């Protein structure tokens, strides 16, 4: 019996993100394998997966608040905004950045009517049109035969499409699939290699997930790219099995195809807080520095992607425009299409490293001084598993100790650890729930010890450290300590609200007293940028006067989300 078509509401967006993530997970390696434009660096599938992973995590966070009883039922507007924001902050590579803008374009339309329950077929048509136009506008020099062509074809096809949202989604998918098959005829580098565009391939997979979400049926089709125009071909079939799209593509590797011309040596990506005028100037400057320039976002937050030879100049341009952060610079591998000259010998791996997630720049500096490789997690911007895997790779060690420093990152860190193990790295995940537990673990870390002994010692130190946080409530909510109002000062001990107050220093003192009532030898205070200037001195004095033989150490955490972190060992 056929499933009743579903409306495009908040729950459908959640389902769509989940199905798209699963489909891209299955297709990731195959999409990577056909990635030849704009750089043949074999990461388009991975970048699309990480971008959707971030979007899906943001949507899940919206539903988590509702399911925990602390928020209203999610609306379509709130859900698509979360999806677009998650994709924006997690966008990776050229393809991921463009996909983020496609999702943002859809969200602009779907959230335009305010907190409505769902949208109709006409709303979806308009959303797909806005998505394609927004993505094309974000690319400084649009090229046909890419994901932009596939997105435009999907939007064009639904202009007169009849039926419900499922019918519109299916029309968009079919047109996208047809446009994808035509990409080798539009872009010579694809024709030479005998492959379809990798970014477009990913978009077709995402649209297939939308069809399944809205109709209950996963489209199944076969698309084969034309034979390469140069050199003998080795045929490899790429399949996305048993899920949205279930597409087959014949990806032919051209053994003797002419090499692509060399280009910039670095990929630079960063999030940027800046106004529209500053971003317009930034576009001009980056366009003069390199190529593959894509700037997406709006409302003060942007994701900037560019390929350049002078990575420092690209970052400096961002500093002049506003505040860049989450900066990622990738040097294209020696010998690929972006570099020339002899390959450099790989550097020797170190034996052991620590990789830690930290909530602020100040703590990042502290951890780095102790020898750790860090991943910065800003408030509302948790890192995806791919970022943790990249950090493990960056540490370049045979053995890695992973410190997530956040209870909510447990599953993300576990996924990253599993991925790193498949790459031959021995990884131990210590389930630290706070950066202060990570500090305690790092304090006893001894790289010269046997790996198992080092992990046991670090785990023991982290587990012996109670942690607390002082923050300001953003909205009214039920807590373990009663009902709090927006603006109240909350003292959380081991993750649960224990104190509700009105004064930051007084609340922090109450929290500290409760923690030290059970004993302790060392107090660690990590101050956020917005903490009162006198709070550290006040708490140090309190410990010195009331608790004999207890030492106190103070660190500056920077913009860490909370006013104060407290650790008691």
Average confidence (pLDDT) over 372-397: 83
Residue whose C-alpha is closest to residue 238's, from 26, 517, 550 = 26
pLDDT of 432 above 50: yes
Residue whose C-alpha is closest to residue 494's, from 437, 559, 412, 539 = 437
Cα 463 from Cα 567, distance rounded (Å): 11
SS3 489: strand
pLDDT at site 246: 38
Q: In which element (H, E) is residue 478 found? A: strand 477-479
| Helices 93-110, 121-138: inter-axial angle, 10-degree rounding | 140
pLDDT at site 341: 36
Instruction: Tell me the pLDDT band of 5, cut-offs 50, 70 and 90.
Output: low
Q: What Cα–Cα distance (Å) separates residue 263 from each residue in 138, 219, 284, 370?
A: 21, 38, 19, 37
Across 3-12, 279-288, 290-299, 418-427, least confident range: 3-12
Count Cβ atoms within 10 A of the Cβ of residue 408 and give its class: 0-12 exposed, 13-18 middle, 19 or more buried. middle
User: 310 versus 117: which is more confidently predicted?
Assistant: 310
pLDDT at site 370: 86
pLDDT of 490 above 70: yes
Indicate the Cα dihedral angle 408, 411, 414, 419, nearest 10°: -120
Per the document, the length of the chain is 569
Instruction: Tell me the pLDDT band of 260, cut-offs 50, 70 and 90.
Output: very low
Provide the mean pLDDT of the chain: 83
Q: What Cα–Cα distance (Å) separates residue 546 from each residue in 95, 523, 552?
A: 58, 13, 13
Per-residue pLDDT tens over the stretch 18-33: 999 999 988 888 888 8
Per-residue pLDDT tens over the stretch 282-302: 999 999 998 889 999 988 999
DSSP string, 310-336: -HHHHHHHHHHHSEEEEEEEEEPPTTS
Which residues, at least 6 apart from 437, have a Cβ–Cβ distance to it below 8 Å?
405, 462, 463, 465, 467, 567
Average confidence (pLDDT) over 484-508: 91
Which residues, at least 6 apart from 228, have a Cβ–Cβ distance to it below 8 Å?
191, 192, 193, 194, 252, 254, 257
Across 10-14, 44-48, 312-316, 385-389, least confident range: 385-389
Residue whose C-alpha is closest to residue 250's, from 242, 259, 238, 232 = 238
Indicate the Cα dihedral angle 75, 412, 562, 543, nearest 10°: 140
pLDDT at site 41: 66
């Amino acid at each position: 019996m056929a499933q009743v078509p579903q409306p495009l509401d908040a729950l459908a967006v959640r389902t769509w993100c989940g199905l798209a993530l699963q489909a891209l997970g299955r297709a990731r390696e195959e999409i990577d394998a056909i990635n030849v434009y704009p750089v043949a660096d074999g990461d388009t599938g991975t970048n699309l997966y990480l971008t959707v992973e971030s979007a899906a995590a943001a949507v899940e966070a919206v539903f988590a608040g509702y399911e925990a009883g602390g928020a209203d039922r999610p609306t379509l507007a709130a859900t698509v905004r979360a999806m677009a924001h998650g994709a924006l902050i997690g966008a990776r590579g050229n393809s991921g950045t463009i996909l983020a803008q496609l999702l943002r374009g859809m969200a602009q339309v779907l959230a335009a009517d305010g907190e409505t329950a769902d949208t109709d077929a006409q709303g979806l048509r308009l959303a797909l049109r806005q998505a394609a136009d927004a993505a094309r506008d974000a690319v400084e020099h649009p090229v046909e035969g890419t994901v932009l062509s596939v997105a435009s074809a999907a939007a064009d096809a639904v202009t007169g499409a009849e039926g419900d949202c499922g019918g519109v989604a299916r029309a968009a998918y079919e047109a996208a699939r047809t446009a994808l098959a035509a990409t080798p005829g539009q872009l010579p580098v694809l024709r030479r290699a005998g492959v379809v565009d990798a970014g477009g391939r990913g978009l077709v997979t995402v649209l297939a997930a939308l069809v399944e979400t809205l109709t209950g049926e996963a489209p199944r089709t076969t698309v084969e790219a034309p034979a390469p125009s140069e050199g003998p071909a080795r045929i490899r079939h790429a399949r996305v099995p048993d899920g949205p799209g279930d597409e087959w593509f014949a990806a032919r590797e051209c053994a003797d195809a002419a090499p692509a011309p060399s280009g910039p040596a670095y990929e630079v990506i960063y999030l940027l807080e800046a106004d529209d005028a500053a971003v317009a100037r930034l576009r001009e400057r980056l366009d003069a520095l390199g190529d593959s320039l894509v700037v997406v976002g709006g409302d003060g937050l942007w994701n900037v992607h560019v390929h350049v030879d002078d990575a420092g100049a690209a970052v400096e341009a961002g500093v002049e425009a506003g505040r860049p952060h989450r900066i990622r610079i990738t040097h294209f591998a020696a010998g690929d299409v972006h570099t020339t000259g002899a390959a450099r010998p790989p550097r020797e791996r170190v034996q052991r490293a620590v990789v830690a997630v930290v909530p602020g720049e100040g703590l990042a500096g502290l951890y780095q001084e102790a020898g750790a490789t860090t991943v910065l997690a800003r408030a509302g911007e948790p890192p995806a598993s791919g970022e943790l895997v990249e950090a493990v790779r960056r540490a370049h060690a045979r053995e890695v100790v992973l410190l997530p420093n956040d209870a909510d990152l447990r599953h993300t860190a576990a996924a990253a650890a599993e991925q790193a193990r498949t790459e031959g790295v021995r990884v131990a995940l210590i389930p630290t729930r706070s950066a202060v537990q990570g500090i305690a673990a790092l304090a006893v870390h001894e790289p010269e010890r046997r790996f198992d002994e080092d992990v046991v010692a670090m785990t023991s130190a982290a587990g012996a450290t109670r942690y607390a946080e002082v923050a300001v409530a953003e909205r009214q909510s039920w807590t373990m300590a009663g009902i709090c109002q927006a603006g109240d000062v909350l003292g959380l001990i081991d993750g649960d609200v224990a104190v509700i107050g009105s004064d930051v220093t007084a609340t922090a003192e109450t929290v500290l007293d409760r923690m030290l009532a059970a004993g302790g030898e060392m107090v660690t205070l990590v101050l956020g940028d917005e903490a009162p200037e006198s709070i550290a001195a006040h708490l140090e004095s309190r410990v010195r006067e009331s608790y004999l033989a207890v030492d106190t150490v103070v660190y500056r955490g920077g913009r860490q989300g909370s006013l104060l972190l407290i650790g008691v060992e």
